[in-house]
Structure 1
Amino acid sequence: MTDDPREIISALFVLAGALLTLASAIGLLRFRDTLSRMHPAAKPQVLGLVLILFGAGIRIFPSSDLGMLVLAAIVAVCTAPVIANRVGNVAYRESVEDGTITHEAPVLEKHTKRASDPRSRR
């Protein structure tokens, strides 16, 4: 073990990022539906990745590979919310069509039954 403070700080950031990524994976396994799984799939996972990349950036600071770490962090931060939004929209639409959505079911039932009921088309 070295006494270099950069290595200790780097290890702490990598450890914090790994713990957030682990919490994200546990959340993905524990939550029951896709709409609930969107949050742990996007937010803590991306923050964990950014912390790991920041710790690696501290460790390799004078190197020219630092730009690739920054680019990977920017891509992760920009794409994860968009992907989570698209997955959420698809899951919401599918659950509305199946009738399996729970938190807004009474409101949606009133509107979907009227539209799908053949007697309402008179």
Structure 2
Amino acid sequence: MNEVQAWLASLLVLAGALISLLGAIGVLRLPDSYSRMHAASKAGVLGAVLLLGAVALASSGELALEALLGLLILLASAPLAAHAVARAAHRAGIRPTLGRLGDDLERSHQKGE
């Protein structure tokens, strides 16, 4: 591994760790479970993508296929899991902290969609 790859991998690790930290702070600071889940899923996935990119780079391509497979699985499953958990929470009666736009999912349930 040359020096440029090492620096780039180090920068990717640092960026992934910082974004993951921001997501963790969002989980602690945001007002309701929906906002927290959004912060955790978006920042967690982006942080993990950067870390997997760092792994692929630092291994000089030896683990690139495994990192790409992990990346694809993560990108496919994280949004689906967050959506399923949010929908289940809404059906269980956990209401979001509403802003000026209101609750569009509640309106669609009232219409029978």
TM-score band, normalised by the shorter chain?
Answer: 0.7 to 0.9
Q: How does 1:16-31 map to 2 (within 5 A)?
A: 16-31=15-30
Q: How many residues align?
A: 102
The runs of at least 4 consecutive aligned structure 1 residues that moved more than 4 Å come to none
Q: Which residue of 2 aligns with 1:84?
A: 82
For normalisation by structure 2, the TM-score amounts to: 0.79
For normalisation by structure 1, the TM-score amounts to: 0.74
Matched-pair contact (CA < 8 Å) for 1:17–1:52: yes
Percent of aligned pairs with the same residue? 34
Q: Which residue of 1 aligns with 2:68?
A: 70
Please give the alpha-carbon distance, in whole angstroms, between the structure 1 residues aligned to 2:23 and 2:40. 6
Q: Which residue of 2 aligns with 1:47?
A: 46
Deviation at 1:23, TM superposition (A): 0.6
Which structure carries more helix by proportion?
1
Deviation at 1:48, TM superposition (A): 0.6
**Rg comparison, structure with higher value:** 1
SS across alignment from 1:95: coil
Please give the alpha-carbon distance, in whole angstroms, between the structure 2 residues aligned to 1:22 and 1:47. 11
Q: Any stretches of 5+ residues in structure 1 without a counterpart?
A: 113-122
